[in-house]
Structure 1
């Protein structure tokens, strides 16, 4: 599975794609099977919004506790918010989806991020 992420240009907030718009909660993000052409199309739409977001790319996901979570540790941190305290950022919302993100494992880089790094 994959999800589309970026940073909102106005405030730097990590955002995720859902049905043609950017949202803040990873748990509500739109997910695609790894080979779904709609994911590539959505990535193109996201990249075509340079005044809204920067560095839109697809991230790889893994199943964790019945939910989906980013494979990459970096992407899990981005989905949870700051790691300086459990009561800050998106992780302060709590709930099963947040707990799944906190307990997910894996350290591989998302292929979308690797491709973004190679292009720079």
Structure 2
């Protein structure tokens, strides 16, 4: 599974793609199967929004506690907010936040690796 992420240009907030719009919560993001062309189509559409977001890319997901979470540690931090436990999205709590906190995976997602290679 994959999800599309970027940073909003106006304030730098981490955002996720949902039905043609950007949302701030990972739990609200559209999820795409690895071989689903809709994920690449969404990424292409997002890249045509240079005044809205910066560097949109697909991230790899892993199942965690019956929910999906970003595979890479970096992307889990981006989804949770700052690493300071008293700030960010993790202060909201709930099952989606618990799944993000307990997920295990790689140091990098292939989406971010591909983004780095393009530069």
Please state which band the TM-score falls in when normalised by the shorter chain. over 0.9
| Residue 32 (structure 1) shift | 0.6
Superposed structure 1 runs of 4+ greater than 2 Å apart: none
- Could you list the runs of 5+ residues in structure 1 that have no partner in the other structure? none
**Using the alignment, how far apart are the partners of 2:29 and 2:108 within structure 1?**
19
Say whether 1:25 aligns with 2:25. yes
TM-score normalised by the chain length of structure 1: 0.97
The residue correspondences of 1:1-120 to structure 2 (distance < 5 A) are 1-84=1-84, 86-120=85-119
Aligned to 2:111, the other structure's residue is in SS state helix
Aligned to 2:6, the other structure's residue is in SS state strand
CA deviations 1:27-46 (Å, max 9, x no partner) are 01000100100000000011
**Using the alignment, how far apart are the partners of 1:52 and 1:79 within structure 2?**
19
Across the two proteins, how many residue pairs are aligned to each other?
119
- Could you list the runs of 5+ residues in structure 2 that have no partner in the other structure? none
**Using the alignment, how far apart are the partners of 1:115 and 1:106 within structure 2?**
18
Could you tell me whether the CA contact under 8 Å between 2:76 and 2:101 is conserved in 1?
yes
